[in-house]
Amino acid sequence: MIVLTPLKKYQYPIIAECITPDVFQGKTKEELSNLPVWEGNKKRKLGELFKIDVTSVKSPDITIIGDVIKVKRIGWGMTQGEIVVNGNVGMHLGKKMSGGKIVVNGNTEGWTGSQMKGGLIEIKGNAGDYLGSPYRGSTVGMRNGKIIVHGNVGSDAAIYMKSGVIKIHGNADSFMGFRMTGGVIHIEKNAGTRLGACMTGGKIVVSGILKNIMPTFALELIKGKVKIETGEKAVGPFYVFLGDLAETGKGKLFVSKEKNPQMSQYERFL
């Protein structure tokens, strides 16, 4: 296992897409120390910014100890192995990853899991905006894999999501699932406005409160349980809304009947 510890409190953003098991594999401590990173607009070596220790422990492949909120692109494109971050971590964590596992014992900044194609990201704290979403202007969203957030999630998560699973134990902010075409999102607590706007496929499950639903969704039925993934179901009953009908969509919103009595008005349309 490679243990990285910040040598100082970073003042400028650090670009360190070299921090992945794929890049680290088979390299000596000296080779790791010489890997290129950027501190602001200046090119640095990894060993100038991190203390690097090599241990005999095999798993996880990389452990980062300390706050790295200024460090971006950790786990970029990783295909294997495991990264554990004991602290907060910066933007673009796990972008385009297709395999392996990243565990964050802290919070993450924006665009975590952007354009993810596989693997697992587990965040023990909160996640920033654009979780699992592409950059502005891109239509390539999350295509597979799983993201678990034990805290809350910011706005504009799972935009253009095509496949995969996102599980949120806390609350989710507005515009989650915008233009999603597939995949599953489970929000265990409360969801923000414009949930599932322009979605055409996939399903979003809200076990908490959804204050209002967009008028382009229609109540289809009431269901007792809904499958999240193999071996796991969310227990309702749930109002099942079909939409976004403005996009001739066939996505489904499952909204807790017990937590949302204000939606009983829609039952007359059944």
Q: What is the pLDDT of residues 153-175, one digit of tens each?
A: 999 999 999 999 999 999 999 99
C-alpha to C-alpha distance for 67 and 90, rounded to whole angstroms: 9
C-alpha to C-alpha distance for 254 and 222, rounded to whole angstroms: 9
Boundary of a domain, candidates 90, 105, 120: 105
C-alpha to C-alpha distance for 7 and 38, rounded to whole angstroms: 15
User: Does pLDDT of 183 surpass 90?
Assistant: yes
Residue 143 near residue 163 (C-beta atoms within 8 A): yes
Boundary of a domain, candidates 105, 136, 160: 105
Whether residue 65 sits in one domain with residue 116 = no
Whether residue 37 sits in one domain with residue 86 = yes
Predicted pLDDT at 211? 85
Domains: count for the chain: 2
* SS3 letters across the chain: CEEEEECCCCCCCEECCCCCHHHHCCCCHHHHHCCEEEECCEEEEHHHHEEEEECCCCCCCEEEECCECCEECCCCCCCCCEEEEECCECCCCCCCCCCCEEEECCCECCCCCCCCCCCEEEECCCECCCCCCCCCCCCCCCCCCEEEECCCECCCCCCCCCCCEEEECCCECCCCCCCCCCCEEEECCCECCCCCCCCCCCEEEECCCECCCCCCCEEEEEEEEEEEECCEEEEEEEEEEEECHHHCCCEEEEEECCCCHHHHHHHHHC
Q: What is the pLDDT of residues 82-111, one digit of tens each?
A: 999 999 999 999 999 999 999 999 999 999
Predicted pLDDT at 43? 97
Whether residue 152 sits in one domain with residue 100 = no
C-alpha to C-alpha distance for 45 and 263, rounded to whole angstroms: 57
Whether residue 121 sits in one domain with residue 65 = no
What is the extent of the structural domain holding 197?
110-270
Whether residue 235 sits in one domain with residue 130 = yes
Whether residue 99 sits in one domain with residue 136 = no
Whether residue 143 sits in one domain with residue 90 = no
pTM above 0.85, yes or no: yes
Whether residue 1 sits in one domain with residue 117 = no
C-alpha to C-alpha distance for 3 and 135, rounded to whole angstroms: 31
User: Does pLDDT of 136 surpass 90?
Assistant: no
Whether residue 134 sits in one domain with residue 211 = yes
End-to-end CA distance of the chain: 58
Boundary of a domain, candidates 105, 138, 158: 105
User: Does pLDDT of 207 surpass 90?
Assistant: yes
Whether residue 83 sits in one domain with residue 96 = yes
Whether residue 235 sits in one domain with residue 134 = yes
User: Does pLDDT of 269 surpass 90?
Assistant: no
Whether residue 247 sits in one domain with residue 174 = yes
User: Does pLDDT of 148 surpass 90?
Assistant: yes
Handedness of CA 36, 93, 115, 144 (dihedral sign): positive
